[in-house]
Amino acid sequence: MVKVIKEKVDKSIWQIFAEGLKIYCFNFHKFFLYMAFPVLGQLLGLGLVFGLTYLYTTNLPNLIVKYDFFDNFATIVLGVILIVLPGMLIWAKAFWDYIIAYGALNSMTEGVLTTGRVYDFKSHTQVITQRTAAYIALWLLFAVFTFLAVIPIFWVLGFIFFIYFILIFQVFTFEPELSPVGCFKKSLILIKGKFARTFLLMFILLMITSVILPQGVSVLFDFFKVTNILTPAFEGWISSLPLEQFYAIYEKAGVIVGPKEVAESCVWQTVLFIVLGFTLPLRSICWTLWYKNNLNLLPEVKKVTARKRVKEKEEE
């Protein structure tokens, strides 16, 4: 008997991106529905917090005049808490779901590769939620690293290690035996020798999801007059804030900035947030494909699907 050894194929970045884009586009409606609450829920929550707070503070003088009940500091603070609480709860739930999606989308990609379709969101989510403590620890480590990386003296070193650590969420999803620190180490091993290609993939995804698509959506916002609705709303809220010193800093630099300019920036940031949120699946798919490509090049790889691990754990 002749033993056939399957040659390990190292895919190019363009192959990875093309395959990832194909999976994302063919299953866009499912990914869109999955990301709808995590993305729009955060905007809704923040909108309620700032919008209701603005209305409350604007009308507070009239309320104090009409109702003696409001002429009390404790009552005013209580009113703010009651107004802010619903929006904060919606935002917190949506934010947590968004964080979970960083891992669950990797498992969904694996499901597409093995079954050809995206389904059973609950089981993919459980891949992450069954290890919540470790997942939070991973995010805390990543937050500490990010905080250090934004310090000017560490910019170059932080950028380099950011590339090496870019697969930590894929490692966490598919290799549950590793600790959060182990995820960072394994990501470094997977990227070693492929730094330039990893940077290229990151650059492609960054340009598409952070520049090209947001510009396109911004044009649509202008065409459908959404910008004309959001800008005055933001401007009215911003005008109530004490930002004179902020404006003065820009004026010293020769740049005229006022409530309108800040409002236009807020609209752009909203567009950017929406696009980045709904394209998170594309980025996760591509990084999962890159993870699997690099993992397959390592010797003695034990292949066990993430969802299979969850089912085995439930059977125990």
Pick from 103, 96, 157, 149: which is nearest to 126 by CA? Answer: 103
- Among 85-94, 174-183, 212-221, 252-261, the minimum mean pLDDT is found in 252-261
Higher pLDDT, residue 257 or 2: 257
Q: Residues 80-87: what's their mean pLDDT?
A: 94
| 148-167 residue pLDDT tens | 998 999 999 999 999 999 99
Tell whether the model's pLDDT for residue 313 goes beyond 60. no
pLDDT at position 3 is 42
What are the extents of the domains in the chain?
Answer: 13-116+123-298
Average pLDDT value for the chain: 91
284 CB contacts (<8 Å, ≥6 apart)? 101, 102, 105, 106, 109, 169
Q: How far apart are CA 185 and CA 191, in angstroms?
A: 10
**pLDDT band for position 5 (cuts 50, 70, 90):** very low
The DSSP 8-state label assigned to residue 127 in this structure reads H
Cα–Cα distances in angstroms (integers) from residue 207 to residues 91, 310, 316, in the given order: 28, 35, 45
Q: Residues 228-238: what's their mean pLDDT?
A: 92
Tell whether the model's pLDDT for residue 71 goes beyond 90. no
Whether the CB-CB separation of 295 and 229 falls below 8 Å is answered with no
Q: How far apart are CA 169 and CA 147, in angstroms?
A: 18
pLDDT at position 309 is 59
Higher pLDDT, residue 67 or 141: 141
pLDDT at position 314 is 59
Tell whether the model's pLDDT for residue 242 goes beyond 80. yes
Q: Is 230 helix (H, G, I), strand (E, B) or coil?
A: helix
Pick from 204, 171, 170, 203: which is nearest to 186 by CA? Answer: 171
Cα–Cα distances in angstroms (integers) from residue 132 to residues 164, 185, 212, 287, in the given order: 24, 20, 35, 22
Tell whether the model's pLDDT for residue 89 goes beyond 70. yes
pLDDT at position 24 is 97
**pLDDT band for position 12 (cuts 50, 70, 90):** very high
pLDDT at position 300 is 63
| 249-269 residue pLDDT tens | 888 888 888 899 999 999 999
Among left, alpha and beta (phi > 0; psi -120 to 50; other), residue 225 is left
Whether the CB-CB separation of 43 and 91 falls below 8 Å is answered with no
**pLDDT band for position 206 (cuts 50, 70, 90):** very high
Tell whether the model's pLDDT for residue 7 goes beyond 70. no
